[in-house]
Amino acid sequence: MRFHVLIWITIAFTAGLFAKDLPINTTDWTILGDESGIEQHLGRTAIALKGGQAIYKGIDFENGVIEFDVAFPSDRNFIGVFWRSVDAGNYEDFYMRPHQSGKGDANQYTPVFNGNSGWQLYHGEGYGAPTEYLFDRWMPVKIVVAGDRAKIYIRDMTTPAFITHQFKRDLVSGKVGLKNGRFAKAWFSNIRISTDMPAPITGELPEIAAAPQHTLMSYEVSTGFPEKQLEKKYRLEKSDKQGLKWMKLDTEANGIANLSRLQTHRGDNNTAFVKVTIESYKEQLKELKFGYSDRVKVYVNDRLLYSGNNGYRTRDFRYLGTIGLFDSVYLPLKRGSNEIWFAVSENFGGWGILAQLENTNGIRVLNRLQLASNE
C-alpha cells in the first residue's frame, strides 16, 4: 500500500498536479497600476490591485490549472484572471462582479480582441453563472483550461460553477495575469499555476444555439472611422466611401459578428461600415430583424432608414446593452442589386452586429446565409 502511495505521489508531481505556490514579489511579477503592489492583507503577503494588472513573467501558458485565493469587498468591481495573453489587447478573460453576487451575471468569461472585451456579445449559459461570494475574507478560485474550454471553480473546488463555451480565440500559448477594476482594491494570495494538460473536459457541455434560418453569416467590414463623420448624414455620398478598405468577416455560429476581430477601437475611430448585398427579382419590402452593439445607422441604397442606440444604461440604470434580434426594419428593395450598410459604433463591452431576413422569397443574398436544410 505504501509503495502504491509513493508511486501515485511521484506521478502526481511529475504531472504537475501539485502546482507550486508562485513567489509574490516585484521580481517575478510585472505589476501595473498606481495603487497596486505587494501588501500584507488578512494575515498574508498578497498582490494588491486597484485599476491594474499583475502579469507573471515565468510561465508560457496554453493549458493547465490557474489557482489563487482572492479577497475583495462588496463594492462594484471587476476582479479576475486572464490567460493565453499574446499581447496587452488579446487574451481569454474571466472576472467576477462582486456587486452582482448571487445573480446571473455575477461573473463573466469573454474573449478580448484588439483591446475590446466582448461581454455584451457573449452572455448567458457558458459565459457565467450565479455565484454567492464571500466578502472581506479569502476565497479560492480555480480555472482549469483544457483545449478549447475551461472549468471555472469559485469557493467549491470540487464542482465547477460553470463550464465555458468553446473559446473564441485561437488556441495559442501566452502570459497569465491577474486583474482588477478601478472601483476598489482586491488582494490575491496562494497563487499556483500548472502548465500540464488537464484531462479533457467532458460531460454535458454548454453549446451555442445555431443561428436561426435566414440569418446573415458573413459580412464585408470596412476600416474604422470617427462616428461624427455621419452626423446628420441622411444619404451616403461618394466621398463617404472613398479610402475605405474592406475585409470579409464570418460570424459566430449563432450569427453574431464580432467586429473587434478585425477592428481596433482607438480614440475617435469607433465606427465601421458592415455591408450586405441583396439581389432582388422585383421591387418589394423585406423585413430584416437585427441587433447591434452599441449604436447603428442603417443605410439602404445610400439612404438612411434607421438609427438606434443600444448602449450600456441607455434605457435604464440596469440596462446592459446585450445583443439580440430586438429591432426590425423593412427594406425597400428595388429590382436588381441593393446594398445594406450598417454603420456600427462602439463605446465598450462588445462591437457587433446580428441580422436575420424574414425569408429569401424573390431575393438572392450575395453574402453567406444560414439556410434551412431543404434550401
10-32 confidence digits (pLDDT tens): 334 333 445 668 999 999 999 99
- My answer on whether omega of the bond before 21 falls inside 30° of 0, hence cis, is no
Average of per-residue pLDDT values in the chain: 92
pLDDT at position 358 over 70:
yes
pLDDT, position 368: 79
So where are the chain's domains?
16-194, 218-365
pLDDT, position 19: 63
CATH code, residues 218-365: 2.60.120
**Cα separation of 178 and 143, whole Å?**
12
pLDDT digits 0-9 by tens, 208-266: 888 999 999 999 999 999 999 999 999 999 999 999 999 999 999 999 999 999 999 88
**Cα separation of 209 and 253, whole Å?**
8
pLDDT, position 204: 85
pLDDT, position 229: 95
3-state DSSP call for residue 364? strand
pLDDT digits 0-9 by tens, 69-117: 999 999 999 999 999 999 999 999 999 999 999 999 999 999 999 999 9
Higher-confidence residue: 33 or 8?
33
- Whether the CB-CB separation of 252 and 258 falls below 8 Å is answered with yes
Over range 142-155, report the average pLDDT.
Answer: 97
pLDDT at position 136 over 70:
yes
Fold match between 16-194 and 218-365?
Answer: yes
Q: Which three cell numbers stand for residue 326?
A: 430586438
What is the spatial order of strands in the sheet that 175-180 belongs to? Answer: 29-32, 52-56, 175-180, 79-87, 90-96, 107-113, 116-117
pLDDT digits 0-9 by tens, 265-302: 888 899 999 999 999 999 999 999 999 999 999 999 99
pLDDT, position 236: 97
pTM value surpassing 0.75: yes
Q: Please choose, from the candidates 366, 212, 221, 214, the residue with its C-alpha nearest in 3D space to the C-alpha of residue 280.
A: 366
Which amino acid makes up residue 120? Q
pLDDT, position 373: 43
Give the domain 16-194 fold: Jelly Rolls (2.60.120)
Q: Please choose, from the candidates 225, 265, 233, the residue with its C-alpha nearest in 3D space to the C-alpha of residue 347.
A: 265
Q: Please choose, from the candidates 111, 146, 184, 147, the residue with its C-alpha nearest in 3D space to the C-alpha of residue 350.
A: 111
Instruction: Judge residue 295's burial from the number of C-beta atoms within 10 Å of its C-beta, 0-12 exposed, 13-18 middle, 19 or more buried.
Output: buried
Tell me the residue length of the chain.
375
Would you give the end-to-end CA distance of the chain in angstroms? 64
Q: Please choose, from the candidates 292, 314, 257, the residue with its C-alpha nearest in 3D space to the C-alpha of residue 113.
A: 257
3-state DSSP call for residue 196? coil
Give percent of the chain with pLDDT exceeding 70.
93
- Kindly report the three-state secondary structure assignment for every residue of 57-103: CCCCECCEEEEEEEECCCCCCCEEEEEEEEECCEEEEEEECHHHCCC
pLDDT, position 4: 43
pLDDT digits 0-9 by tens, 323-356: 999 999 999 999 999 999 999 999 999 999 999 9
**Residues 228, 234, 239, 242: what is their CA dihedral angle, to the nearest 10 degrees?**
70
Give percent of the chain with pLDDT exceeding 90.
87
Strand pairing category for 186-194 and 90-96:
unpaired
pLDDT, position 266: 82
pLDDT, position 5: 40
**Cα separation of 119 and 260, whole Å?**
12
pLDDT at position 148 over 50:
yes
Weakest-pLDDT range from 165-179, 231-245, 357-371: 357-371
Q: How confident is the model at residue 67 (pLDDT cuts 50, 70, 90)?
A: very high
**Cα separation of 326 and 119, whole Å?**
18
